[in-house]
Amino acid sequence: MKLTLGFSPCPNDTFIFDALIHHKIDTEGVEFEVFFDDVETLNQKAFRGELDITKLSYHAYAYALKKYVLLDAGSALGFGVGPLLICKNPQNLANPNLKIGIPGKYTTANFLLSLAYPQLQNKVEMLFSDIEEKLLNGEIDLGLIIHENRFTYQDKGLQKVKDLGEFWEENTQCAIPLGGIVIKRDMPTEIQQKINRLIRKSVEFAFANPKSALPFIRTHAQAMDEQVMYKHIDLYVNKYSVDLGLEGKNAIQTLFTQAEEKGIIPKPQQALFL
């Protein structure tokens, strides 16, 4: 059986999926055709139902529920891992005309921004890796950064306005659900469970052999320092990546409940979890 699989070229995803797609574990007869895309592109592919299995933002999952169901393995949740709102020069956040660069409308980062600063609506979608440069050039007033940019923005003279992860944690006492792995809802249950099992084994292999994935990670993060790559992995790959557990599922349910109450997402009509 061959299935299509989409995930980002970021170190946390390549770390998680290395063993799976390179047959370092027994894949139980399943082959994978892999597509590498930034998270917002993956979100859009999920809306169209293009891939059998894909990474997506939890915000986007609310709009892909009819087509996909969430797996227990492979997710990115955690404490101290949230997106950062940054600037080049101090800004008055009460000003609704401020232009904010965001990494995608359906990213969890944008969801958290909407919760923390609902007055900031002048948003421009762009590739997450372009946001710092746009700030430096004065094309935007504020930038919403994710992934490895949280380790590099200060080196460029940029300043933190708000850690939106801290905002979420202070208000919910929950881990921040950033991204998850979903599978087509209409696939047989035994296939869904098999893929979940394989992804869990891939994460466990990666934890047991942390340097095994380094060549693969480096291939897709060529400009990134190795220390930054592993900081990135340590931040986003943890116990929730092995299995969401009750704590992880509660955090996701909290996100969906708050988003629904504030009119950010529609009321879910399908079960969230496998």
**Alpha carbons 8 and 42: distance in angstroms, whole number:** 8
Catalytic residue among 23, 147, 220, 232: 147
- Angstrom CA distances, 235 to 32, 70, 248, 256, stand at 26, 21, 16, 23
**Alpha carbons 195 and 20: distance in angstroms, whole number:** 10
For 9-77, give the DSSP string.
SSHHHHHHHHHHHTTSS--TT-EEEEEE--HHHHHHHHHHT--SEEEEEHHHHTTTTTTEEE-SSS-EE
Give exposure, 206-234, as e/b (b: 16+ Cβ within 10 Å): beeeeebbbebbeeebeebeeebbbbbbe
The reply, when asked if residue 202 is annotated as ligand binding, is no
- 158, with CB counted inside 10 A (0-12, 13-18, 19+), is buried
**Alpha carbons 197 and 202: distance in angstroms, whole number:** 9
**Alpha carbons 125 and 68: distance in angstroms, whole number:** 25
**Alpha carbons 172 and 153: distance in angstroms, whole number:** 27
The reply, when asked if residue 14 is annotated as ligand binding, is no
The reply, when asked if residue 70 is annotated as ligand binding, is no
The reply, when asked if residue 108 is annotated as ligand binding, is yes
**Alpha carbons 68 and 185: distance in angstroms, whole number:** 5
The reply, when asked if residue 41 is annotated as ligand binding, is no
For this structure, is 147 an active site residue? yes
Which stretches does DSSP call E strand in 71-224? 76-78, 84-87, 100-102, 123-125, 142-145, 159-163, 176-184
* Binding site listing: 55-57, 108-109
Q: Which residues are catalytic?
A: 147
* Binding site listing for substrate: 55-57, 108-109
